[in-house]
Amino acid sequence: MLAKQYPEIVKVTGKVVFSAEDDEDRLSGTSWTLEEEIFDQISESGFKTHLIELLDIFIQHR
């Protein structure tokens, strides 16, 4: 779904590392490694928020 909403962003090469504490069913943190100019676009477009929300949902269901 995110790939269809943000086709240009999902083509970018980079890395998102996320973590969740064992005793919490929530996302604890993320670390993004991307080109600087695309990072601003990711934040401003709403993609970053949507991806974090999706990861949080997956973690809750683990």
Q: Give 13's strand partners.
A: none
Tokens of residue 44, six digits: 């401003």
pTM over 0.95: no
- Quick one: pLDDT at residue 11? 86
CA distance 37 to 16: 16
Among 60, 48, 56, 38, which Cα is nearest to 2's? 48
- Quick one: pLDDT at residue 30? 93
Return the SS3 of 29. Answer: strand
Residue whose entry in the numeric block shows the structure tokens 């997956």: 58
- Quick one: pLDDT at residue 53? 94
**Amino acid residing at 58:** F
- Quick one: pLDDT at residue 40? 87
- Quick one: pLDDT at residue 61? 84
pLDDT by 10-residue block (mean), the chain, 62 residues: 89 91 87 86 92 92 78
